Amino acid sequence: MLIRYSIRFLLRTQTAGKLPADETAGLRMRVYIYGVGAVDFAVGVGVLPSDWDKDAGRARTNKEANRAIDEYTAVAKEIFNRFELLEKRIPTRDEFKALFLELSGRTPTADADERSRTDALFEEYISTVSVQNSWTLSTLRKVKTVRRHFLASRPPRYINELTEEDLQRFVSRLLRKGMRNTTVAKDYAFVRWFLSWASKKGYYTGNVHQTFKPRLKGTDGNAKEIIYLTLSEMERLRACEIPASKTYLEQTRDVFLFCCYTSLRYSDVAALTVEDVKEGYIQVVTQKTSDGLKIELNRHAQAIIDKYRGKRFRGSLALPVISNQKMNDYLKELGQMAGLDEPTRIVYFKGDKRFDEYHPKWELLTTHCARRTFVVTALQLGIPVEVIIRWTGHSSYEAMKPYVAIVDDLKKREMNKFNLL
């Protein structure tokens, strides 16, 4: 039994910036167990930042610190040797922590104090939950960026000292950076999820993540801009002649239209294998929410499946799906080729300031437009909301309200045609 792990020693500097050159920073050991996650320990020794060799993970002149590093490393390796030779399995985080405290003579109290530190706890949240929930690389990068912004807003050292003022300072920092209100709201949601996790684990006893609700214009569902294709635009895209030299556009169109006819997100069509395609339907477990969905195939979606049946794609995929970024680029090229030039207004806020922009629709095409197109089309066809959410996996009627509002507006405009008689 061979256990894969890494041991690193890091300085715990102030998250808001570098420490003064004459002030020591706390030294910590991070043990990462592959398949399990990270475990952090405060070494209990201070090191001057100017004396720290980041690449070597050691102090240049501080003998006490280097002695502690050697001792901690030896204890950690001893634990892994025991589990490899005797237990023949990988230790859990709690097992490793308990045995380390026992062999090193440390007290659980000191470690508990370390675990309550905001920065360490956020890092533990990322390392643990990213594995448990199988985060995509983009999600992992996003949450790490949110953590960096959060720590740069100078939250208290210990999480139970967190106040609503601290959360407001985080929101204000994002607004000062020129982010749109919708982006700020999403980033704050990541912080709330972190605090909810810490609360469930017993590390955090406060409730400011439940009581603090930043007022951000344009972030309610009714203000959400929904970019979708009308039935006539879908037909123009489908009928658009693509040069023989650009077969990649044909494949992009097929995958996009398949999502328009089935409601699949990009992440789900990118994971759809031939085994997921059944007789007359597809069976998927969504990447975002892990919901199990059975989606019947209409004749348009079935035709696309049949077109690629028997062809081999990486990972036994059912369709020729490329990266999300490339697909978004190709969709814009397709949209321009199909003449999807209708001026489309985008409204957003930065703080209290409203911005109105107009773009030809092809500039706004992304893979997510397909899912929105499916929902709006289904509502226009009179399919009940209760049925639609069984296909899309939306958790409630509340999430469908922006789409219903679009269809209601369309109905009103169509009825006004009678006034011209």
Q: Are 76 and 101 in contact (CB under 8 A)?
A: no
Residue 8, burial from CB neighbour count under 10 angstroms (0-12, 13-18, 19+): exposed
- Supply the CATH number for residue 126's domain: 1.10.150
**Residue 257 sits in the same domain as residue 327:** yes
In-domain check, residue 283: no
In-domain check, residue 366: yes
pLDDT number for residue 26: 72
**Residue 140 sits in the same domain as residue 8:** no
Q: Are 353 and 217 in contact (CB under 8 A)?
A: no
In-domain check, residue 359: yes
- When comparing pLDDT for 64 and 20, which is higher? 64
**Residue 142 sits in the same domain as residue 199:** yes
Q: Are 37 and 29 in contact (CB under 8 A)?
A: no
In-domain check, residue 296: no
**Residue 201 sits in the same domain as residue 157:** yes
Give residues with Cβ within 8 angstroms of 140, minimum separation 6: 126, 130
**Residue 91 sits in the same domain as residue 53:** yes
Q: What is the dihedral of CA 124, 126, 129, 131, to 10 degrees?
A: -100
Q: What is the pLDDT of residues 128-149, one digit of tens each?
A: 888 888 787 888 899 999 999 9
Q: How confident is the model at residue 281 (pLDDT cuts 50, 70, 90)?
A: very high
- Is residue 316 left, alpha or beta, with left meaning phi > 0 and alpha meaning psi from -120 to 50? left
In-domain check, residue 297: no
By residue range, what is the domain housing residue 48?
A: 1-114
Asked if the model's pLDDT at residue 239 lies above 90, the reply is yes
Q: How confident is the model at residue 76 (pLDDT cuts 50, 70, 90)?
A: very high
Task: Count how many domains the chain has.
Answer: 3
Q: Are 349 and 180 in contact (CB under 8 A)?
A: yes
Q: How confident is the model at residue 351 (pLDDT cuts 50, 70, 90)?
A: very high
Among the three residues 114, 144, 167, which one is the final residue of a domain in this structure? 114
How far is 190 from 376, CA to CA, in rounded Å? Answer: 28
Neighbours of 34 (CB within 10 A): 11
Q: How confident is the model at residue 419 (pLDDT cuts 50, 70, 90)?
A: low
* Mean of all residue pLDDT scores within the chain: 86
Question: 186-195, 302-311, 328-337, 384-393 — which is least confidently predicted?
Answer: 384-393
In-domain check, residue 83: yes
**Residue 150 sits in the same domain as residue 264:** no
**Residue 266 sits in the same domain as residue 415:** yes
pLDDT number for residue 34: 92
Q: What is the pLDDT of residues 85-120, one digit of tens each?
A: 988 999 998 899 889 888 877 655 444 555 578 888
Asked if the model's pLDDT at residue 262 lies above 90, the reply is yes
Q: Are 268 and 283 in contact (CB under 8 A)?
A: no
- Supply the CATH number for residue 390's domain: 1.10.443
